[in-house]
Amino acid sequence: MTDAPQPFLDRRRLLGLLAGLSLAARVGEARAMRSAIAGPIFQDAAAILVAGPEGGMLDRWGRVLAPALAQSLPPETPLRRLTVGAPDGVTGANQFGARVAPDGQTVLLAPGDAAIAWLVGDPRAQYDVARWVSVMVAVAPAVVVARPGSVVPGRPLRLASAGPAGPDLPAVLGLDLLGVGLDLLPPLADDALQAAIGQGGVDAAFLRGHRVPDQARALAAAGARPVFTLGALDPQGRVMRCPAFPDVPTLAELYPTIRGQTLAGPLYAGWCAAAVASQLEFALVLPQLTPASMVALWRRAGDDAAGSLDIQALATANGLRALGGGEATATAGAAAADQPALLALRSWLSQRYNWKPA
């Protein structure tokens, strides 16, 4: 028993050595990148524009991301954080689009709510998500849960929801595509929602954000069961089952069992974009037309940050996945619907809920 701690100490020394070698390699790559770019890489300091208030969720992420990203930027590069606007990210994203030059000096840290606002045509959203160049993302699982036997085409379903033109959009649209008649009730806090489902006052809910599997287990105790998830994307952008709910079908898998045909078309494409946006805890992005060398530099930093122990620990504690590289690119890109999908999505909102897009 006296020798038990020794393997841990050896492993710790080994990990420290490997971390040192990894850091040296990153520093060497950053220096090589500097030599490939004429002049200094950063004019004054690199900056993270946080689309949210100081002390908010995104600001807390920014405080952890800054040192993780700095490890892969050129040595001694100052990395400033600037917080702008409300938690929905719209004001910050507007400033990023209007005032930030595509020179790679500034990255935007935006919530998925900002992408949703653009998708639905919120008149406040004066930016184009399709012009964002991804660096890194964090995604949360999302699932629709309901009382058994309540999700039936043509039958009214009481859904606790903040409304169709926000983050709950993929739940509302997904159930509508299944042919379910919806009665949208006000959103409820966790305990009140559990009580309402248990007492039969609410039939279904949409779970997203932090620790979703824990939320689902709590509602399962009240009688609600997962109906479909919003899925997840592989590095090629193909939809797969949500890793947090591997036994629960995606909407595309459930649809044929209820409607008898394959789900396709512009409105489904709009749903797919909304599903990705709704699951974004954040996207770290650059402007379109940023020089390729700067994109490569930031993407390397984002990939390294996504794999860092601090970021992984924080993501895991909240039931999230931090992604860099191809997975980040596929995910951020999928939140940007094409024009037919945008038109179909906004037309559906207008016809069903009298939503007035920009």
- What's 164's domain CATH number? 3.40.190.10
Q: What is the DSSP letter of 164?
A: T
Confidence (pLDDT) at 358: 63
Question: What is the Cα 28 distance to its own chain's centre?
Answer: 32
pLDDT over 60 (residue 14) = no
From residue 310, give the alpha-carbon distance in Å to each of 49, 64, 68, 154, 284: 21, 7, 8, 48, 17
Q: Say if residue 106 is in the same domain as residue 166.
A: no
Residue closest to 27 by CA, chosen among 19, 17, 15: 19
Domain of residue 236: give its range: 142-276
Confidence (pLDDT) at 112: 97
- Return the higher-pLDDT residue of 9 and 158: 158
The residue written with tokens 């060398």 in the block is 293
Over residues 243-293, the pLDDT tens digits come to 999 999 999 999 999 999 999 999 999 999 999 999 999 999 999 999 999
Q: Say if residue 72 is in the same domain as residue 115.
A: yes
Least confident window among 13-17, 91-95, 308-312: 13-17
Average pLDDT, the chain: 89
Confidence class for position 44, pLDDT limits 50, 70, 90: confident
Confidence (pLDDT) at 41: 83
State which H helix or E strand residue 195 sits in.
helix 190-199
Distance CA 94, CA 128 (A): 9
- Asked if residue 34 lies in contact with residue 41, where contact means CB atoms within 8 angstroms, the answer is yes
Task: Extract long-range pairs of 351-355: CB within 8 Å, 24+ residues apart.
Answer: 352/164, 352/176, 353/163, 353/164, 353/165, 355/120, 355/164, 355/165
Q: Say if residue 63 is in the same domain as residue 32.
A: yes
pLDDT over 80 (residue 163) = yes
pTM (predicted TM-score): 0.86
Packed helices 266-279 and 325-334: angle between N→C axes, nearest 10 degrees: 130
Confidence class for position 40, pLDDT limits 50, 70, 90: low
Please identify, among 245, 276, 307, the residue that sits at the C-terminal boundary of a domain: 276
